Structure 1
């Protein structure tokens, strides 16, 4: 069986027009790319094996399609020569998450070679390990990668007892150490009630930058901007990963680990604007979308809106 799945047209529906006013009219479906500019490429990661191993709420395996269905209905403001391509999905077969991550990495590398902006749709946050490896393979070890994670959790758990959705950045840090490359990791929205003391110790040991959730708000926009600009100035490229469980459950009930104590979309949009202005964004993903627990597609709409904002700012 193949881990690669072709794009599914049935999720791309909405109002009809004669002018490509909506994204379902703009999207193309392909598992290959020929042009080399102005491309946003969506790639699904249909896997919540990592969430299961991490004792979370299963259901994120259906997250990518839930986001697609909401994005499809949204207005199209892309330039005429820009492309939106649904590149299909990577699945998880018989719980083999590690192979899914390896195939995902290959696809990310492939997309970057065509100068596309990959936007990956998860799936558990184990998406990050495969995603990062794909970027690293494309860039080689000469270029530095900055990881900016909008999240309540560090996801720096040791993988001594196996890999899961809570271990991806620990795995990346270990790989960086082995290859003698820098581990540049900034977490925005970290909650003390969601990370134990050992995780804070690990973050300190690895030199991880973070802003706690109580300070990650518009009230502190200036200091957050300063922290972001400092981080952006130290790296060549930026990989953005947005874990939807970092948002308050008032905005994102449909996630694997919900909490009312999360952050708001406004500060995330402000932060994304700064990142985009740096022109260093190389790839992005949305993780932990769990439609099984969503309310009125609210979380899926949030994920879709974030993607809509990024791709229209880029192209």
Structure 2
């Protein structure tokens, strides 16, 4: 319920319905950390503004899912990582420390830890403690993100960096046509990164989801949702739009497959650039996908007594 102090009302609503509970009203239990970093962006910058925008949308949703019931817990906002603009080493060390603390808190509470990017390079930091603990990283992305640059920084190298430094088991779902350098498939093989492409999902969704379930079965999973895995018609406000990307319904099916076979212990959402989508469609969709992933993880965990 909104808290009233004198004549001031937090989260004031024009609709005065006492029973209309929102996610922001729930008991804060799921640790949430923002990482407003986008200095690694080679394309369209602005993802540093996404954590605050996604927070607002996330807390405005109701907790009712027609198949999962009501989400029973909300988000414990731990704030944003103190970003050092233009300094990935310093920012990265701070983000890794924050992720480690969020992971420990989440394990104690039996929930996933949640991270709001930022460009996708933040996942090299936030997923690291989970990878070091043995978690599989599952990525929804139209890109391989396995680049090796001769100079400069890029958000398209984070998975290579994580794979080389932690030997993480990784699965990328949604790799799209005409979005990646020619060497990408071979590099994925060399690093042992499993890939389920957009075309494979189109041709055999059930078979692809079955393969994904097999790859993660019985493991702990860190789920990274790069919003540019969605077709540009659904998500125009991203760093690198994907005209031939996935649909939200396919994204939901992927999340269902992962949570049905594995325990999701960490989730991030990245690459949203709010100012590139004045309608707010991309931010709202990103928040909805994140909320669904959290709800699935908690519901499946409760069903298995975790």
TM range (shorter): 0.7 to 0.9
Q: 1:17 to 1:312 in 2, by over 3 A?
A: farther
Could you tell me the TM-score, scaled by structure 1's length? 0.82
Q: Name the CA distance, whole Å, in 2 between partners of 1:151 and 1:279.
A: 19
1:229 maps to what in 2?
213
2:236 maps to what in 1?
253
Q: 1:12 to 1:66 in 2, by over 3 A?
A: farther
Q: What is the CA deviation profile of residues 144-193 of structure 1, one whole-angstrom value per residue up to 9, with x for unaligned ones?
A: 321111111000011552442111111112113xxxxx431111111230
* Paired residue secondary structure (1:85): strand
Counterpart among 155, 179, 183 of residue 194 in structure 1: 179
Q: 1:17 to 1:209 in 2, by over 3 A?
A: same
1:147 maps to what in 2?
137
Q: Gapped runs of 5+ residues in structure 2?
A: 1-8, 65-69, 300-306
Could you tell me the TM-score, scaled by structure 2's length? 0.84
Q: Name the CA distance, whole Å, in 2 between partners of 1:247 and 1:295.
A: 18
TM-aligned CA deviation for residue 50 of structure 1? 0.9
Aligned: 1:75 with 2:75: no
2:268 maps to what in 1?
285
- How large is the RMSD of aligned CA atoms in angstroms? 2.3
Q: What is the CA deviation profile of residues 60-90 of structure 1, one whole-angstrom value per residue up to 9, with x for unaligned ones?
A: 110111111211221024555x342111111
Q: Name the CA distance, whole Å, in 1 between partners of 2:222 and 2:149.
A: 22
Q: Gapped runs of 5+ residues in structure 1?
A: 1-9, 29-38, 177-181
Whether the 8 Å contact between 2:177 and 2:244 is mirrored in structure 1 is: no
TM-aligned CA deviation for residue 197 of structure 1? 1.3
TM-aligned CA deviation for residue 266 of structure 1? 0.7
| Number of residue pairs aligned between Structure 1 and Structure 2 | 280
Q: Name the CA distance, whole Å, in 1 between partners of 2:130 and 2:194.
A: 21
Q: 1:199 to 1:11 in 2, by over 3 A?
A: farther
Q: What is the CA deviation profile of residues 125-162 of structure 1, one whole-angstrom value per residue up to 9, with x for unaligned ones?
A: 0011101223245x2xxxx3211111110000115524
Q: What is the CA deviation profile of residues 190-238 of structure 1, one whole-angstrom value per residue up to 9, with x for unaligned ones?
A: 1230111122221121122112212224x522111221112113x6311
Q: Name the CA distance, whole Å, in 2 between partners of 1:11 and 1:296.
A: 25
Q: Name the CA distance, whole Å, in 1 between partners of 2:26 and 2:34.
A: 18
